[in-house]
Amino acid sequence: MPAALPTPLYTTDWGQACVGDSLDLLPRLPAESVDLVITSPPFALQRQKEYGNATEDAHVDWLLQFAEPVKRVLKPTGSFVLDLGGAYQRGRPVRSLYNFRVMLRLCDEHGFRLAEEFFWHNPAKLPSPIEWVNKRKIRAKDSVNTVWWFAKTDFPKADVRRVLAPYSERMKKLLEDAESFYRPKLRPSGHDISRRFADNNGGAIPSNLLQIPNTESNSPYQRHCASVDVKSHPARFPEKLPTFFIEFLTDPGDTVLDIFAGSNTTGSAAEKLDRPWMAFEKDRTYLAASAFRFVDELPPEELVTLWNRLHSDDLPVKVNRQQRELVLMERNTRYRTKAKPK
């Protein structure tokens, strides 16, 4: 029987956040107990980031260590969604192939199926890399991440009807008066486009190009971090990204896991969708700050109280939208302080 997970750093109504290396924590989960693993690991960028990364080849080998542990905990109908940013080779205007190597090795060596490739377009991304885009102006800015959707079987759980996109204005007019705007006919390709094309299905089937700006600048998470003088996580994906895959690939009550949780955007998305979630993160400071995603507005001194509690040995900390009531109950405890954390 696997060892139990360590005491969570904090819990919410739907989830738990644990400090630790996922290579240690994944074997502690029961086999076939998770419906969706969705994560964004540190990227294999050439410029060293403060949260740590490795050279390209070492990064690929490191990331592949998680393949079998992830596969073991996934249910037969489960999915593994991996967001990987691109990179250039060191000192050259030539793209790295590391993300494609990860994809090929997960399939060839570990038996994952590539259910579909997605591309996350962040129109708000700053021009980079600076040398080739800003200075020499010989490359366009890199604003798309590959997002691989893997599965253990050919038919993982999925329902695109849960992630329908809004109809275009032209399609809305067609639905209002199909006779005036559309005539069923045989396409040059030989496809017979029937009148079902004009049925209102509640939305359009989305493409595998997900255009989601990453513009979080004044969220409660950001404001709360600033209030207690804590630096927010430097690499956060927008909540709409995990929300799309959680809705697409799981049902309410299904378990969602992020093995590189960072600021726990995945857990926040799962919480709002009534999915049990788990977050694994090595850096306690980042994970402690992620609790602010589950807290409504609080005075700065009460946020400091919560922050200090998250760094105590009295765990787990229960965090929810009624956090103010919990903090007020602790006004006279040893965690109360007016000093900001170092």
- Kindly list the catalytic residues: 40-41, 83
Is the CB of residue 84 less than 8 Å from the CB of residue 146? yes
Residue with token string 């299905």: 201
Question: Which run of H or of E encompasses 174?
Answer: helix 169-176
Work out the burial of residue 283: count CB atoms within 10 Å of its CB; fewer than 13 is exposed, 13-18 middle, 19 or more buried: middle
Residue with token string 């600048």: 217
Is the CB of residue 4 less than 8 Å from the CB of residue 30? no
Q: Rounded to 5, what percent of the chain is helix, strand, coil?
A: 35, 20, 50
Report the DSSP beta bridge partners of residue 120: 145, 210
- Report the C-alpha gap between 19 and 223 in whole angstroms: 23
